[in-house]
Structure 1
Amino acid sequence: MRRPVRRALASLAALSAVLAGVAAHAAAAQVWYFADSPTYPGVRLLEIGEDGATVTSDWYGTMPAQNVRRNAQGFEFDLGNLNDNARPVRHWVAAVQGDQLTLTGDIWTSHVVQSARPATPQEQKRYRFTPTSLPPLTDLAVDGQAATPPMGWSSWNRFAENIDDKTVREIADAMVATGLRDAGYTYVNIDDGWQGERGADGILRPNAKFPDMKGLADYVHARGLKLGIYSSPGPKTCAGFTGSYGHVAQDARTFAAWGVDYLKYDLCSGEWFYRSQDEVRRGYQEMGAALKATGRSIVYSLCEYGRVDVATWGRKAGGHLWRTTGDITDDFASMTAIGLDRNPRFPAGGPGGWNDPDMLEVGNGGMSAVEYRAHMALWAMSSAPLLMGHDVRAMSAETKEILENKDVIAIDQDRLGVPGHRLRSAGQAEVWSRPLADGGHALALFNRGEQAVTLHLTPAETAQQTMALDVWAQRRVSTGDGFVLPAHGSVLLRFATGLGVSAD
């Protein structure tokens, strides 16, 4: 999960605790206003009543306080933590002096001190939160989209929320000019940072960086590409922009009217509202049903970090892919932990519903070409969506070669849709196998270690075949020879069916 959201959760929870302290102290003011509330999380009101205390937040709505203990300065308390299972409880101190509250606590790596004062009637009216309800649980019909893992580009890994209309148009042009579109990368996805505010009619407008979203969609479509967009089931997105909470059907209609072809729906502030499997599933189902109701074909990406067994119900909520992990970072340790360890724990995806180990980092500069080839090979062996995350306008020839390798893409996009699995480990090295629709199979060899290793394949692993296509070297090789893998390196092989040699 992104660090701003972590700060948001902890800071918001902290403020919730303050309320409890105030309630126990029986302070004169019944509603408190946090005028110095930071960007994350945006908590505004503390309300104290006979039944306890609550905090109203722009991010998380109403949160109850709990476990308040009096001390010499005021109060201390324990607060639940939504994101860190190793530390499920946080300790906070709230000092009360007259009509002022001061909250002190630690938020991840930050130390927080915040204050509150009595709220005016206008502030109370403005910041009180109105909750909504979720629809009953149901199974949505499969629609035949995403028969193979989606391929394209997404803005977050390179640009975060600093994305605009001009950049998206230039990326679309570059995808055509570099051959990426013709290689199969068709989605141009705007991640967080495009949202403005809602009008009096409730309709969400883009911010000033995106003056004409329909015009942008038309521009992308005219180049043989498709446009993706981003939202959250919570009130706020991960970067603090407007989410879809309370406006789900309305936003789906807006996206369809613009000509959107793909939606990434990121749990973000929805974590406070939806935590059980039932709640999370119904939250995602609500948008899945709303997208279908528009009548437009929109690929639906569930981004809830692999929680509550999403692979078992993602399709039923209308999803075509679902994240199995938190955010990837541009380093070998993160990539292999996700691709070799976490993603394989989920039940296999397949046509119409794919496990998503997050976007590609290829070309962003944090890894070597050797490591990026391993990254690409691992995602292909995993039947993972291939969503690039670099600046396509400034792509090196080496990055282009990795991303446009037709044999890697063919393995990823194989219509059988059965992801690979680990055959064996040998120290820091691993051998993976994936069946293919033509009756052949692919083998991938990965070296997680810091030293080069040599691996010898067994006859069972090669299906008794003596030759294979080395995908990266683009030549036939003997399977009887040992394969030398440099540190963090990989070998990707494709075997034909019953020929004893690789297919062309």
Structure 2
Amino acid sequence: MLLRLLSLFAALALVAFQPAQAKDATAGIWVFDTSLSYPGVQMMELTQRNRKLSGILTTRWYGAMEMQNIERRGDTIAFDMRNLNDKANPTRRWTATVSDGRVTLTGDIWYAHVEQTGRRGTKGEAKARRFKPVQLPPLAPVAADGLAATPPMGWSSWNKFAERIDDKTVREIADAMVSSGLRDAGYVYVNIDDGWQGTRGPDGAIRPNEKFPDMKALADYVHARGLKIGIYSSPGPMTCAGYIGSYGHVEQDARTFAEWGMDYLKYDLCSGEWFYSSRDEVQRAYQQMGAALKATGRDIVYSLCQYGRVEVSEWGRDVGGHLWRTTGDITDDFAKMSDIGFDRNPKFGNAGPGGWNDPDMLEVGNGGMTETEYRTHMTLWAMSAAPLLMGHDLRTMDEATRAILSRREVIAVDQDVKGAQGRVVSKDGDAEIWAKPLSDGSVAVALFNRGTTGRSISVAPGDAGFRSLLGGRDLWRGTDVDTNMLDFAVPAHGSVMLRLSGRH
């Protein structure tokens, strides 16, 4: 017994005189008083347990970002950060180095290189800066409301003005929509995209920035011209242009938009992609706003902008959506427009009255394509039953642009109440023939030449699903066609659009 006691005392003594575990020099709270706008790192918190470090970066864009695979190298730690929107490099290696009581943080995320210096922070500063996460509601269908029986038509500010949009420009665009005849051609929505947001008041309500002094007055101005008005937000903390999103204020923002008199909301995933990456999460995030809009009692068309991720066309209607983006952003060039319109958007189904596949806004009139290419752009969007949201400056458009956008027979194909999405029925090298059945039994047929040289393309009755043809019309020329001679010279990057009737 004595020997056992002596052995126990010896062991306790050995433990008592062992040196305490050394505290990692990087552990603790570090705050950054200045940072890049994106991703806006505000704080680093490192916790040491059993010689292992765990940590969080708090950012304006993505909230709390976990530091993964932390490795110590002297006074420097290296760690992995999730790298959004870069499939080739889903993670990036960052470092944090301590020297003279300061920490230098270095790393890359998406398009940004981060290099900033921080200082030791207090528990009070940490409490004030910590991100406060919110929970999504459970998934539940949002009842259909009968809006968007045909694809929405109008104008959106982003393609031409990006975040450089203001009250004066919106009013002048509304006036131009009326004076140009485009309102009477069917374009009714005047949509303010990103860049209008200011700050939140003490009650949490979103307020516009100085470019938009009175949103209700602006909405009244647009409504007085027989038009409707739309606005933009994100389910994340920040919008794509770095303004305040609706995270944590979804229902409140929906009520504000309704009080202002908004008729349309584009809800862009943006920073929300950090929080909501699975199909279930994305659905619930979009359903939350869909239900909130419905609860306002105001008719608001709901545009889901999440770039075609997680099979959106299969559930877009269920969350209250009336249109949903099928791709990333369009740009004003034939290659990008073609990739979206010919290759990406057709992969999505489930389009029809009340819910539409959206290949993004029109670039017609912005100057990056030829008149022939813009006509093809318009033809392809009309054949696809796509929303027709113009993106140019209506105040300065030329007659060729106005003529393309206001061609009534082409618009009628897009707006046909059957709501069928056209599909390719024949391919021959760079030539494609598309068909779109229409509500009166006729069929719209489009001939596309995606090549760089002109070529001849012929149409057969079977391309329209008919056994024989009874009549036809060239929709861009506005003339009847001889159905016995449906052979057309189609220029490079050009198109021909027909409406054919026949016997099955």
Amino acid at match of 1:220: V
Partner of 2:174: 172
Amino acid at match of 1:370: T
Q: CA deviation at 1:135?
A: 0.4
Q: Map 1:6-405; keep pairs closer than 5 Å.
A: 26-27=24-25, 30-50=28-48, 52-71=54-73, 74-108=76-110, 111-120=113-122, 123-405=125-407
Conservation of the 8 A alpha-carbon contact between 1:288 and 1:300: yes
3-state SS in 2 of match to 1:46: strand
**Structure 1 Cα separation of the partners of residues 469 and 32 of structure 2:** 70
CA separation of 1:319 and 1:415: change in aligned 2, threshold 3 A: same
Amino acid at match of 1:474: G
Deviations 1:118-138 (A, max 9, x none): 224554343221111110111
Amino acid at match of 1:465: L
* Larger radius of gyration between Structure 1 and Structure 2: 2
Deviations 1:245-280 (A, max 9, x none): 101111111000110000000001101111101100
Give the aligned length: 476
Q: CA deviation at 1:99?
A: 2.4
3-state SS in 2 of match to 1:377: helix
Q: Which stretch of the first structure deviates more once superposed, 49-58 or 164-173? A: 49-58
Deviations 1:58-91 (A, max 9, x none): 1111111101233466233333322122222223
**Structure 2 Cα separation of the partners of residues 100 and 444 of structure 1:** 65
Conservation of the 8 A alpha-carbon contact between 2:451 and 2:493: yes
**Structure 2 Cα separation of the partners of residues 493 and 351 of structure 1:** 23
Q: Which stretch of the first structure deviates more once superposed, 26-35 or 129-138? A: 26-35
3-state SS in 2 of match to 1:183: coil
Q: Which stretch of the first structure deviates more once superposed, 186-195 or 460-469? A: 460-469
Structure 1 unmatched runs, 5+: 1-23, 500-504
Conservation of the 8 A alpha-carbon contact between 1:94 and 1:104: yes
Q: CA deviation at 1:28?
A: 5.6
Deviations 1:129-151 (A, max 9, x none): 11111101111111111000000
Q: CA deviation at 1:486?
A: 1.0
**Structure 1 Cα separation of the partners of residues 229 and 111 of structure 2:** 37
3-state SS in 2 of match to 1:319: coil
3-state SS in 1 of match to 2:425: strand
**Structure 1 Cα separation of the partners of residues 447 and 91 of structure 2:** 42
CA separation of 1:276 and 1:109: change in aligned 2, threshold 3 A: closer
Q: CA deviation at 1:304?
A: 0.6
In the alignment, is residue 435 of structure 1 matched against residue 437 of structure 2?
Answer: yes
Partner of 1:12: none
Q: CA deviation at 1:452?
A: 1.0
**Structure 1 Cα separation of the partners of residues 286 and 305 of structure 2:** 9
Deviations 1:287-320 (A, max 9, x none): 0000010000000000011111111111110100
**Structure 2 Cα separation of the partners of residues 109 and 233 of structure 1:** 21
CA separation of 1:208 and 1:297: change in aligned 2, threshold 3 A: same
Moved over 6 A (4+): none
Partner of 2:492: 487
Amino acid at match of 1:471: L
Partner of 1:445: 447
Normalising by structure 2, report the TM-score.
Answer: 0.91
Match of 2:469 among 457, 465, 472: 465
Q: CA deviation at 1:41?
A: 1.6
**Structure 2 Cα separation of the partners of residues 288 and 63 of structure 1:** 27
**Structure 1 Cα separation of the partners of residues 480 and 128 of structure 2:** 69
Match of 1:496 among 469, 477, 501: 501
**Structure 2 Cα separation of the partners of residues 27 and 147 of structure 1:** 63
Partner of 2:19: none
Normalising by structure 1, report the TM-score.
Answer: 0.91
**Structure 2 Cα separation of the partners of residues 495 and 104 of structure 1:** 62
Partner of 1:502: none
Partner of 2:478: 474
Q: CA deviation at 1:345?
A: 0.7
Structure 2 unmatched runs, 5+: 1-21
Q: Which stretch of the first structure deviates more once superposed, 37-46 or 123-132? A: 123-132
Q: Which stretch of the first structure deviates more once superposed, 440-449 or 406-415? A: 440-449
Conservation of the 8 A alpha-carbon contact between 1:29 and 1:118: no
3-state SS in 2 of match to 1:295: coil
Q: CA deviation at 1:111?
A: 4.2
